[in-house]
Amino acid sequence: MPERKPHDLLLQQLLTILEEDGISSRQLFALPQLQVLATADEKSLAPTQMLNILEAVVALSNDPTLMIRLGQRVDIASLGTFGFALMSCADLQAALKLFLRYGDIVGPGPSFKVIELEGGLALRIQLNFGNPVQQKLITEYTFSQILFITQTLINRVVDEGEMHLNYPEPIGEKGLQSLISVPIKFSQTYSELIIPNSLISSRISTANPAGHVIFQNQCEELLRGLNRVENFSAAIRRILIQAGGAFPTINQVAQSLYVSESTLRRRLKNESTNFRAICDEVRNVLACQYLSTTELTVAEIANLLNYTEAVSFRRAFVRWNQITPSLYRHESKKLDISPSN
């Protein structure tokens, strides 16, 4: 695995931009919602904590272009083996295939669906974590990063294609387009990058066929190791999602996986998680889906997720997403965001 977690690098880049804008890290961590992180080791920050940091930073800076700027700070070499594998590809088509297969080795993040179009394809982002504001920020950061890496690989400005965003353009705000070289279209059905065939066939300036074989094999080994490490967490998530809100106990899950409860707890600890955290993660995913795609009341959703009282569910949902269930539903419908998009 890479020596450093991607969100550690992200945090450093974020703090650098803030300092350039005259905002110190002390100001950031003085925010009430982030005081708990002020003494945290950067390497211990979880992806969910990074989402809270991103949302707080944008609010503090009052800069709607911050995620675009942040995405343009990526150093492809900082991605380790994955970055070198991308640079060794023959063309962007090969790089895209590598990105889709091995992207997970640089850390958790959004997934993508490739849609074939006449004359090109759509790279559609799929998010099932974070509140609507955080999903918007992650989308802008991810698309900006992809475009910047693409420009680095082909050594020229990318002005072909389009960026589609599934939320309205902020009133009076034209800043995003000034930083992105492809046209941006808001209020679209999906958030996606439209990539024409003329761009996909572009040659990569640092192509290295011999090196590519080595780096791709290294990526494959890293992916196998990642799958082994996360096997128990992934298996538990599948079991819990299939169970809906009526979650089995950890002992019942252990029996389903043919291990003892103590072994399961130890394996989860090795994966830097625990059974309760995974249960909360799955409950949050289901809750967001119910709020975004159904007309069930908050009390009905709480009951489906096995909460005896709606107030307990509301409290948990706010802890997970820093937003109330009712406000999440309102924002999801306003932005036309759902976990399946």
> Residue 176: what pLDDT?
84
What tens-digit pLDDT sequence spans the chain (341 residues)?
333 444 567 777 888 898 888 888 777 777 765 665 555 544 445 566 677 778 888 888 888 899 999 999 888 888 888 999 999 999 999 999 999 998 887 777 788 999 999 999 999 998 877 888 889 999 999 999 999 999 999 999 999 999 999 998 876 556 788 899 999 999 999 999 999 999 999 999 999 887 888 888 888 877 776 655 456 888 888 788 777 667 889 998 888 777 788 888 988 888 888 999 888 888 888 888 788 777 888 998 888 888 888 999 999 999 888 889 988 888 776 655 434 33
Question: In the numeric block, which tokens belong to residue 303?
Answer: 């009951």
Q: What is the model's pLDDT at position 43? A: 45
189 in the same domain as 114: yes
Q: Measure the CA dihedral 76/82/88/94, to 10°.
A: -110
Pairing status of strand 120-126 against strand 111-117: antiparallel
pLDDT for 32: 67
Q: Are residues 85 and 157 in the same domain?
A: yes
Q: Are strands 184-185 and 162-164 parallel, antiparallel or unpaired?
A: parallel
Phi and psi torsions of 63, nearest 5°: -115, 100
Q: Are 204 and 87 in contact (CB under 8 A)?
A: yes
180 and 95 part of one domain = yes
The predicted pLDDT at position 36 comes to 53
Looking up residue 159, the CATH number of its domain turns out to be 3.90.1520.10
Tell me, yes or no, whether 340 lies in a domain: no
Buried b / exposed e over 146-170, threshold 16 CB at 10 Å, is: bbbbbebbbeeebebbbbbbbbeee
Residue that the structure tokens 């799955």 belong to: 282
Same domain, 204 and 308: no
Indicate whether 56 and 147 sit together in one domain: yes
Identify the domain boundary among 221, 251, 275.
221
Does residue 252 sit within a domain?
yes
The pLDDT, as a whole number, for residue 46 is 57
Query: What's the confidence (pLDDT) of residue 334?
Result: 62
**pLDDT score at 85:** 92
Domain boundaries, position 172? 6-221
Nearest CA-CA partner of 82 in 220, 225, 207? 220
34-59: pLDDT as tens digits: 665 555 544 445 566 677 778 888 88
d(CA 24, CA 297): 42
End position of a domain, from candidates 169, 197, 221: 221
- Residue ending a domain, among 221, 255, 273, is 221
User: What total of structural domains would you count in the chain?
Assistant: 2
> Could you report the per-residue pLDDT of 276-316, keeping only the tens digit for each?
988 888 888 888 878 877 788 899 888 888 888 899 999 99
Q: What is the CATH number of the domain that holds 313?
A: 1.10.10.60
